[in-house]
Structure 1
Amino acid sequence: MTDASRLAEHRLAQLKTPAAISKEAVRDISAELNVLLADTFALYLKTKNYHWHMSGPYFRDYHLLLDEQADQIFAMTDPLAERVRKIGGTTLRSTGHIKRIQRVLDNDADYVTPDDMLAELREDNLTFANHMRATHALCDEYGDVATASLLEVWIDEAERRTWFLFESGRRA
């Protein structure tokens, strides 16, 4: 073993958190949680982007709604990352890492109509909830009830956001 590989192994050993689940479970659940974490950051930034660039006759209501939703989304980031560490995994390290694995698509358009903002965020939150359901199923397979429990609350929150965005974007 070379000095460089011994040093790398030593560095990784310092991050080894004892876990009550198998190495395979740590690997698979950590990978899924990291993708969810990347999606969470992407959805947060997209929601804030639309909050900052909202316009039109319902500006105040939409502006406040998106601010509330962005805060709720951001509140997931630390518990998600800490859950990865609690089970013995490692988590995201950079915005580049987020960009490589996020599934929530960015929207860098100069102008997006309020109706399109609400519709896009509605679909993003619906898809996000479905991804969390898939991760929940993985946790069930491995018996990781603590992660599954966190996901249940966040799925409910995503469904509520989806509902509010749907109703806010509906026209009489």
Structure 2
Amino acid sequence: MKISIGLDAKQIKDNVKALSVLLADEHILYTKTRNAHWNVEGADFHAMHVFFESQYDELEEIIDEVAERIRQLGQMAPGSLKDFVQLTRLSERKLSKNDSQSFIKALLEDQESVISYIREVVAKMDDSKDFGTEDFLVGLLEKHEKMAWMLRAHL
């Protein structure tokens, strides 16, 4: 059903495209954080296992919120791994070690990439009048900044 919320079709299309890239990035970051949770080794295993779990739990909520924002704009959210791999800006790389510091550095780099992307999207939204999506993204920005801070605090 077509929605009538005061945004033109181009504004919705542009914002959904940006949200779809963000959804893919969130999903890839979630998977990489799960990998850290499963595979971290070292004397700090238990503490890091629990820490990474708290991070992927937060990302799981974010993923759902981003997909729901896309649906609120009347569009279908991408939902396949193929879609996510095609849309993401993040890359996968094999770490040389499974220690907490290696995982933390890699995840922090991705968190900072997501933060920068959200800032870029919000900066471009000034003329769109999609205040709901803009506010939503600012809230996500704050969540990612906190997650990045938590990672940084372990370095």
Shift of 1:108: 4.6
Shift of 1:116: 1.1
What's the TM-score, normalizing by structure 2? 0.91
For residues 32 and 53 of structure 2, the distance between their equivalents in structure 1, rounded to whole angstroms, comes to 11
For residues 108 and 58 of structure 2, the distance between their equivalents in structure 1, rounded to whole angstroms, comes to 15
Q: In the alignment, which residue of structure 2 is the partner of 1:123?
A: 109
Q: In the alignment, which residue of structure 1 is the partner of 2:86?
A: 100
Q: List structure 1 segments (4+ residues) > 6 angstroms apart after TM superposition.
A: none
For residues 56 and 129 of structure 1, the distance between their equivalents in structure 2, rounded to whole angstroms, comes to 29
Shift of 1:109: 5.1
For residues 110 and 165 of structure 1, the distance between their equivalents in structure 2, rounded to whole angstroms, comes to 19
Counterpart of 1:64 in structure 2: which amino acid? Answer: V
- From 14, 38, 62, the equivalent of 2:48 is 62
Shift of 1:154: 1.2
Larger Rg: 1
Q: Aligned ranges for residues 15-164 of structure 1 at < 5 Å?
A: 16-108=2-94, 111-164=97-150
For residues 68 and 6 of structure 2, the distance between their equivalents in structure 1, rounded to whole angstroms, comes to 16
Shift of 1:78: 1.8
Is the CA contact (8 Å cut-off) linking 2:18 and 2:121 kept in structure 1?
yes
Q: Residue 44 of structure 1 aligns to a residue in which SS? A: helix
Q: How large is the RMSD of aligned CA atoms in angstroms?
A: 1.7
Shift of 1:85: 1.8
For residues 93 and 127 of structure 1, the distance between their equivalents in structure 2, rounded to whole angstroms, comes to 22
Is the CA contact (8 Å cut-off) linking 1:46 and 1:107 kept in structure 2?
no
Shift of 1:140: 2.6
Comparing 26-35 with 70-79, greater Cα deviation is found at: 70-79
Aligned residues: 155
What's the TM-score, normalizing by structure 1? 0.83
Counterpart of 2:9 in structure 1: which amino acid? Answer: K
For residues 115 and 95 of structure 2, the distance between their equivalents in structure 1, rounded to whole angstroms, comes to 25
For residues 148 and 162 of structure 1, the distance between their equivalents in structure 2, rounded to whole angstroms, comes to 21
Is the CA contact (8 Å cut-off) linking 1:42 and 1:102 kept in structure 2?
yes
